[in-house]
């Protein structure tokens, strides 16, 4: 039997498509259906690694979690990973396909349609329901001829489309009615329902708004989804970043963690688990003015290590980070951030950047070399050695994933990654600066707790041991909380009737 389909499209980026898709995946999974997510083309540097080493967008991996299944490259057959303002690495079926600027990609992208339909057909043969997600807006008139992810996919799958608008952004009528007005008659007929997302306050105040939308569009409003406060789940494909300033007052018992927000930042999910800890404040910073005097500075991953290292120097953040380390701040580098903390980066083949070599921040005794063919993408586990910079972690086995270009030579590695002869990671003499390649290490509860206890003790902060939660259990709880709110708002029985009616019509 070919699976039924449902598609979520948005009036714009940040309409909330990814989280709504995840919520629907969880709802139907709880109903006992074999449900699977699908996004034909995603643009994001926030990638996940599947069991076969293939890459997909992290939002699809998160949606797979909502379905209770393992991530699969078929869920996101085309992934665009931006390397510069108009150039991306193209991942097809989990593997690098090409590196192209925007114009070249659009000219060649139609070759990928067969890869997309093959992946979708394969999933439909194995599951009961495919929840599909669009990208951006279906009404980008100048790009419709290149469409691989919105209405072309909906028409191919004969999927009812739910169009989502974000009322928090303002202009909800222009969002929804304007989008519908710009669609062709054929595409407009594909839209079977409207959703108003992220509503704050008394929803009865929007009753007239629902009536206006339905009268003007002729399409039912399936529901008004409320803003879910304090939701500890990843937002869309990357963490939302707002302007952050140095706190006017600093709580003496709060750990202040400044995360450097690189222009080409990637795999920011490492921060999610830290956010779950009580008494830990996460700030994203892009300038020395925002940096202030944090307890911890975290340099996360990046799609272009050398270019973002130069950005650190241009902004003055490189000198500020070194000064902060000398003044007692803990500095952590993960993946590309780890490479930057070293002494030098060699890039003789001009991979990810046109710059052949760059001096690192010199905080770790590490030299990194980029060479073609050395990209690592895999799920793995690692043993924490006695040389670990975090007291209490010695002997632990932790899990995570690698996704990086470059090989780093370090004289004092502290992680023995499964299947690798050389050690990973490095730290300075007093363990106040450290780093490694393993993404997801803070998702390991025992490791994260030991790190938190260690730095709280070093900073003289009190430790609330009752606040330490299993991150996996917290994520499941939050997914269910989101799903509950969406189920109440949309009326899932009516939605299921819509899906079944569409299936019967094409059978």
Active-site residues: which are they? 335, 439
- Reported for 486-492, long-range contacts at CB under 8 A and 24+ positions apart, including other chains, are 486/20, 486/23, 486/24, 486/27, 486/225, 487/23, 487/27, 489/223, 489/224, 489/225, 489/226, 490/195, 490/222, 490/223, 490/225, 491/222, 491/223, 492/27, 492/31
Q: Are 163 and 11 in contact (CB under 8 A)?
A: yes
Distance CA 256, CA 63 (A): 31
**In angstroms, how far is CA 444 from the centroid of its own chain?**
18
Q: Hey, what are 158's tokens?
A: 């004969």
* Three-class DSSP category at 497: helix
Distance CA 330, CA 328 (A): 6
Distance CA 277, CA 274 (A): 6
- Residue 263: HSE in the Cβ half-sphere, 13 Å Cα cutoff: 15
Which residues contact residue 418 at a Cβ distance below 8 angstroms, ignoring those fewer than 6 apart? Answer: 380, 381, 382
Distance CA 338, CA 414 (A): 13
* Three-class DSSP category at 301: strand
Which residues contact residue 197 at a Cβ distance below 8 angstroms, ignoring those fewer than 6 apart? Answer: 15, 16, 20, 164, 165, 166, 167, 168, 225
Distance CA 216, CA 391 (A): 63
Find residue 91's DSSP bridge partners. 79, 96
Q: What angle do CA 196, 197, 201 make, to 5 degrees?
A: 95
* Three-class DSSP category at 7: strand
Q: Are 321 and 312 in contact (CB under 8 A)?
A: yes
**Alpha helices, DSSP H only, in 183-335?**
185-188, 207-217, 270-275, 288-291, 305-315, 317-326
């Amino acid at each position: 039997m070919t699976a039924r389909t449902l598609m979520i499209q948005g009036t714009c980026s940040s309409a909330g498509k990814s989280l709504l898709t995840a919520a629907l995946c969880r709802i139907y999974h709880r109903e006992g259906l074999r449900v699977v997510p699908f996004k034909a083309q995603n643009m994001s540097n926030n990638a996940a690694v599947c069991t076969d080493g293939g890459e997909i967008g992290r939002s699809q991996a998160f949606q797979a979690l909502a379905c209770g299944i393992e991530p699969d490259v078929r869920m996101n057959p085309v992934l665009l990973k931006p390397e510069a303002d108009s150039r991306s690495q193209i991942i097809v079926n989990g593997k690098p396909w090409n590196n192209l600027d925007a114009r070249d990609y659009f000219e060649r992208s139609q070759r990928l349609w067969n890869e997309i339909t093959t992946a979708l057909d394969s999933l439909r043969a194995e599951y009961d329901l495919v929840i599909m997600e669009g990208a951006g807006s279906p009404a980008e008139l100048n790009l419709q001829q290149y469409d691989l992810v919105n209405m072309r996919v909906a028409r191919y799958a004969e999927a009812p489309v739910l169009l989502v608008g974000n009322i928090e952004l303002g202009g909800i009528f222009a969002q929804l009615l304007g989008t519908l007005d710009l669609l062709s008659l054929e595409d407009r007929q594909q839209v079977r329902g409207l959703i108003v997302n992220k509503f704050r306050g008394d929803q009865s105040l929007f009753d007239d708004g629902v009536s206006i939308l339905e009268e003007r569009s002729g399409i039912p409003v399936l529901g008004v989804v409320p803003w879910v406060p304090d939701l500890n789940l990843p937002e869309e494909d990357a963490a939302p970043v707002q302007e952050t300033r140095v706190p006017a007052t600093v709580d003496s018992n709060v750990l202040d963690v400044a995360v450097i927000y690189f222009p080409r930042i990637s795999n920011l999910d490492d921060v999610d688990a830290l956010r779950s800890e009580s008494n830990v404040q996460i700030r994203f910073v892009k300038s020395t003015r925002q940096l202030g005097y944090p307890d911890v500075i975290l340099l996360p991953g990046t799609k272009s290590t050398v270019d973002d290292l130069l950005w650190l120097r241009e902004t003055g953040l490189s000198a500020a980070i070194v000064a902060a380390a000398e003044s007692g701040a803990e500095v952590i580098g993960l993946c590309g951030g780890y490479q930057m903390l070293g002494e030098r980066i060699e890039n003789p083949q001009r991979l990810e950047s046109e710059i052949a070599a760059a001096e690192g921040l010199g905080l770790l005794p590490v030299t990194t070399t980029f060479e073609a063919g050395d990209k690592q993408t895999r799920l793995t586990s690692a043993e924490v050695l006695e040389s670990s910079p975090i007291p209490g972690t010695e002997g632990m086995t932790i899990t995570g994933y690698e996704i990086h270009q470059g090989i780093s030579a370090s004289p004092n590695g502290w992680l023995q990654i499964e299947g690798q002869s050389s050690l990973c990671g490095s730290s300075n003499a007093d363990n106040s600066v450290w780093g490694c390649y393993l993404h997801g290490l803070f998702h390991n509860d025992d490791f994260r707790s030991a790190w938190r206890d260690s730095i709280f003790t070093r900073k003289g902060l009190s430790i609330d041991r009752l606040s330490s939660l299993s991150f996996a259990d917290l994520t499941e709880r939050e997914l269910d909380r989101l799903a509950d709110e969406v189920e109440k708002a949309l009326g899932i029985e009516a939605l299921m009737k819509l899906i079944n009616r569409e299936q019967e019509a094409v059978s």
